Amino acid sequence: MRNITVIGTGYVGLVTGTSFADLGNKVCCLDIDETKIKMLKAGQVPIYEPGLHEMIQRNVQAKRLAFTTDYATALAEAEFVFIAVGTPEGVDGEADLQYVGQASESIAKTMKHPVIIVNKSTVPVGTGDWVSDIVRTNQPEPIDFSVVSNPEFLREGSAITDMTAPDRIVLGSLDRDAANKVAELYLSLRAPIIITDLRTAEMIKYASNAFLATRISFINEIANVCEQLGADVKEVAAGMGYDKRIGHHFLDAGVGYGGSCFPKDVKALAHMATTHGTHPQLLKAVMDINQYQRIHVIQKLRDLLGSKLKDKVIGLLGLAFKPNTDDMREAPAAEIGRALLREHAIVKGYDPVAMTVATKMIPNLEMAKDTYDLATDCDALVLLTEWNEFKHLDMPRIKSLMRQPIFIDGRNLYDANIMTNYGFTYRGVGRGY
């Protein structure tokens, strides 16, 4: 058993801390947000992540997991201090490191014995050196410490699986002994462990997310060409994927990527590249294509409903940026919903878990109680999140409830021929009709 402190109780911090506790360690999760800590102490979880609530309860009851707002309490016995705070997008697309800086300064002022500081937050290349400087500068008296970069690769909706059965563990440090000690925390997971220097580890995270975003934008560009040439992008992607050099993952055409990672990480990497005198043309194209996918949905609605969408009733089926989360950050639904409202359409929405968050993200969005309530009197439905419960809907019933049976399938969830036979005017993404 090791003593671990995790600073930050967002998706990364809460999943990381709880998973380490579940592996038998003693973990204290710290957050300066008193409301979140009060919720956690009361048995409530401030985020939606399948399986997380039960795991937290189990480890709190076993006295392996605790929550606090006090640095002295959190660091009293800590051997490892994970920084897992937010790094939101800055004014120019750069990563905003103010919370990382605040956490580093607080660690420096509070620590009473040597610790290993682990950067779990997604941070620009060079941040590990910067954290070291902050800690060294703000210590009341010199105490040994090491900084290790340990980027996270957690997907919202499957974060617990990604933490406990990872593809790889990436560690970077100038102190090899410290990196080896962090590696020991992960040994029971039996995952490949890559140990490198600080800056390389930081770059691995950005390069990984940028590559995955590039695959998504690539297949979306192919989809837009397919629409014009009469090809079916789903079949194209399937045919491509059997090539072992390509594979099937991240080749699902749709309305583009969203969430808390890909959008800001691609922008941050492009900003780093530009700042250091290189020309990130590919990254800029990835972002442009992603933006166009949202606009393309509006264009399809105009083609089918007329150039003016004023007073047209449009239902958004799915609001979260992906299934199994309530996260609306950079969600296609948020951007599309706001765009439709600017054109004075009447916009309704339904999502299994993201309704509360969506009301804050899309002002004047009318909330439906279920899919069938959403369809009632709609001129068009737009599917934006491929929740499992949407896969087997009563489509004849939905058609009967709509004012006009227009269906835009932004995730290619349905069979075009079946939807057409039901009587829908159906449009997918890159389906060539």
32 by Cβ neighbours in 10 Å (0-12 / 13-18 / 19+) ranks as middle
Q: Are strands 169-173 and 145-149 parallel, antiparallel or unpaired?
A: antiparallel
Q: In 3D, which of 212, 161, 166 has the Cα closest to residue 185? A: 166
Q: In 3D, which of 53, 126, 137, 54 has the Cα closest to residue 95? A: 126
User: What's the rounded Cα separation, in Å, for the pair 402 and 204?
Assistant: 48
Q: In 3D, which of 160, 185, 153 has the Cα closest to residue 53? A: 160
Q: In 3D, which of 115, 120, 73, 70 has the Cα closest to residue 100? A: 120
CA distances from 161 to 18, 19, 26, 155 (A): 12, 10, 20, 9
Helix axes 198-229, 262-275, angle to 10 degrees: 110
Q: Is 255 helix (H, G, I), strand (E, B) or coil?
A: coil
CA distances from 257 to 242, 337, 339, 363 (A): 23, 16, 17, 22
- Catalytic residue chosen out of the listed positions 28, 29, 226, 261: 261
Residue with the two structure tokens 């058609």: 399
Q: In 3D, which of 428, 386, 381, 426 has the Cα closest to residue 402? A: 381
Altogether, the residues listed in the chain come to a count of: 433
Q: In 3D, which of 7, 28, 33, 32 has the Cα closest to residue 18? A: 28
Residue with the two structure tokens 């401030």: 46
Active site annotation includes 261: yes
Q: In what helix (H) or strand (E) does residue 361 lie, and over which residues does it extend?
A: helix 355-361
DSSP state of 61: H
Show which residues are catalytic.
Answer: 261
